[in-house]
Amino acid sequence: MSESEKHTVGALVSVLVLFAPGFLLHEAPRFPGSLAGGLLGIAGATLLAAVLVYSLVKRSVWLRTRVAKHASLGTFLSFHVYAGVAGALLGILHSGHAYRSPLGIALVAAMLTVVLSGFVGRYYLAQAGADLREQQAMLGVLRARFDRIAADAASAAPHGGTAAAVSGVDLPTFVLLASGSGAGPDGIPLRRLVGAIADLEHAIGRREALNRGLSRWTVLHIAAALVMYPLLALHIWNGIYFGLRWLR
């Protein structure tokens, strides 16, 4: 996942989110049935159908081994992301913000759910995971420094003092009392070190809780897609049946 890809897709998703509630300012009921609106709808539906290529390649070993010589799975994933966002954006433009039928409203809602859940899983959770690993590494460094100071303080205590102190006082307080100076050998105040450890542990706990809640994005993404494609097929059938009924 490159930074340019993340910024590009983020910009497209932002445009999509801003365009979706455009009915508050603009509505063109006749645009979906016009030539331009129809072409936008066909292009959007084609891209949304092409999104399924990645799912087929990912889940079919037979197909994956045959297309591996032409493109990697990461390439198909990038196409999956771009085609999904672009198809949804074209679908919103095709609607002309004329959200009047239950079918159209349900299709737009499912489409936005698919795109937003995919964006969260693809980019936000990946970035959140990297940040979490960085925080955990920093916490490990601080804890190692704390353990080194605790060991130095324990070795400097009188015989038997260590057990008595640790048994009656928690370790951070024991270190503060045993050191006397209130600072470690590297000059960092122990209170600041203990506070930094506590802050990091709290931040890591909150981030882990958030990630656990968002980790089910795949379930939401797939469920919304299973709803979206039948609605899309029904929408296309309605457009053909009612739009071309004058041919009969």
Q: What is the pLDDT of residues 172-224, one digit of tens each?
A: 554 544 444 455 545 566 778 778 888 888 888 888 887 777 777 888 899 99
Say if residue 246's pLDDT is above 50. Answer: no
71 and 155 together in one domain: no
> Tell me, what's the pLDDT at 83?
94
- Distance, in Å, from the CA atom of 207 to the CA atom of 178, rounded to the nearest integer, reads 34
98 and 170 together in one domain: no
11 and 72 together in one domain: yes
Q: What is the pLDDT of residues 219-230, one digit of tens each?
A: 889 999 999 999
Do 152 and 190 contact (CB within 8 A), yes or no? no
43 and 148 together in one domain: no
Q: How many domains does the chain have?
A: 2
* pLDDT, the chain, mean: 80
18 and 119 together in one domain: yes
159 and 193 together in one domain: yes
For residue 65, the enclosing domain spans: 3-123+218-247
Do 85 and 13 contact (CB within 8 A), yes or no? yes
Residue given tokens 């029904």 in the structure block: 234
89 and 165 together in one domain: no
118 and 51 together in one domain: yes
31 and 52 together in one domain: yes
pTM, 2 dp: 0.69
175 and 68 together in one domain: no
Lowest-confidence pick of 62-66, 167-171, 200-204, 223-227: 167-171
Q: Give me the DSSP letters along 182-241.
A: SB-TTS-BHHHHHHHHHHHHHHHHHHHHHHHHHTTHHHHHHHHHHHHHHHHHHHHHHHHH
- Distance, in Å, from the CA atom of 184 to the CA atom of 181, rounded to the nearest integer, reads 8
> Tell me, what's the pLDDT at 177?
45
| β partners of residue 189 | 183
**Once rounded to an integer, what is the mean pLDDT over residues 78-99?**
91
